[in-house]
Amino acid sequence: MMELVEAHESFGGVQEVWRTKSLTLDCDTTIGVYTPPLAKIGQKCPVVFWLSGLTCTEQNFITKAGAQKAASELGLIIVAPDTSPRGEHVPNDDAYDMGQGAGFYLNATQEPWVRNYRMYDYIVNELPALVESHFDAASAVRCISGHSMGGHGALMIALKNPGLFRSASAFSPIVAPSKVPWGQKAFTSYLGDDLSLWAEYDTVELIRAGLNPSLPMLIDQGTRDDFLEEQLQTQRLAEVVGDRPIEIRMQEGYDHSYYFIASFIEDHLKWHAEQMKKPQA
C-alpha cells in the first residue's frame, strides 16, 4: 500500500512524498519522488536515487536542493528515501549521529539494531523494485548520488552492486568511514568490532579491493567544509583512484550545506544523464 502524503506541481512535473510499509526495515517509511513532465506523456524515465546525510529525512533534499529544474529539463525521476528506519518501535539514540536519522546505509549485525536497521538491503533491493513498479521509471536505468553520510551510501552501494547503478556521485561524502569518528562510532554500534565487516561498507576499502572498477564516479567537495579534515578526509579517496573513471573536484569556498549541493546539483544530474545514455556492455 502506497499512501500519497504530499503532491506539488514543480517545473511542469510533480514533487510527491509517499509513505509505505517497508518489509526490509519493518516500519513505515517515506519517499520523495520527483516525476518530470516527460512522464506525463507516457515516457519511461531514468531514475536518480538520492541518499541524504545525518539527521535528514526525504524533506531536506526535496525542499532545499533545487534539483527539480534540471530533473524537469533532463527528464529524470528523482527518488529521495528517508535516511533510516523510523517510528516509536524502532530503536533510537539521543545522539544525532546514531539511530534514527543515522542509518549509514548498512545492515546492522548488532542489537538493538538488527531488526530495523537494514538500509543497505532497502536501497539495493526493495526501493528500486518499488520505484519501477509504481512510477514511470525506465527499467534498470538508474544512477545514485548523495550527501555526506548519503555520499558514503551512494558510492559504497554502487561499488558493491555492479550493474545496479550506471554511475555514482557524491557531495561531501564520508569516503573512509572506518577511519573517521562518525563512521567508527556508527560501525562499532551497528556492526561490532569485526574490521573485515567494516571494510565491506567503506568506499576506500572497496576500491582498494578492486570492486566494480569501471563505475563512473563524480565527487564534489567544498574546501570550506567544517567536516573535511576530521570526518570526510577526501584525500583518502584521491589516493586510491588509480586509473578508475573517478573525478574529484575540490570546490573553492563551499561548505557542507545545501547551498553547496544546490550550486552543483545540475552538474551532477547532467553528468548522470550522460552516463545513463551510454550503451551498456
What is the separation of C-alpha 222 from the centre of its chain, rounded to a whole number of angstroms? 18
Let me know if 241 is exposed, middle or buried by CB neighbors in 10 A (0-12, 13-18, 19+).
middle
Indicate which single residue of 133, 253, 279, 280 sits in contact with a second copy (rule: CB under 8 A): 253
Rounded CA-CA distance 220/268 in Å is: 9
Please say if 189 is a catalytic residue: no
Indicate which single residue of 43, 259, 274, 277 sits in contact with a second copy (rule: CB under 8 A): 259
Q: Which is nearer to a second copy, 8 or 208 (CB)?
A: 8
257 binds a second copy (CB under 8 A): yes
Q: Which is nearer to a second copy, 11 or 240 (CB)?
A: 11
Q: Smallest distance, Å, CB 223 to a second copy?
A: 9
Rounded CA-CA distance 219/247 in Å is: 6
Q: Which is nearer to a second copy, 63 or 184 (CB)?
A: 63
Among candidate residues 97, 202, 220, 225, the one labeled active-site is 225
75 binds a second copy (CB under 8 A): no
Query: Do 80 and 48 form a contact (C-beta atoms < 8 A)?
Result: no
Please say if 8 is a catalytic residue: no
Q: Classify 46 as helix, strand or coil.
A: strand
Q: How many residues interact with a second copy (rule CB under 8 A)?
A: 24
Among candidate residues 148, 169, 172, 189, the one labeled active-site is 148
For a second copy, the binding residues in 189-248 under the rule CB under 8 A are 222, 224
Q: Which residues contact 156 (CB under 8 A, 6 or more apart)?
A: 105, 201, 202, 203, 206
Residues catalogued as catalytic: 148, 225, 256
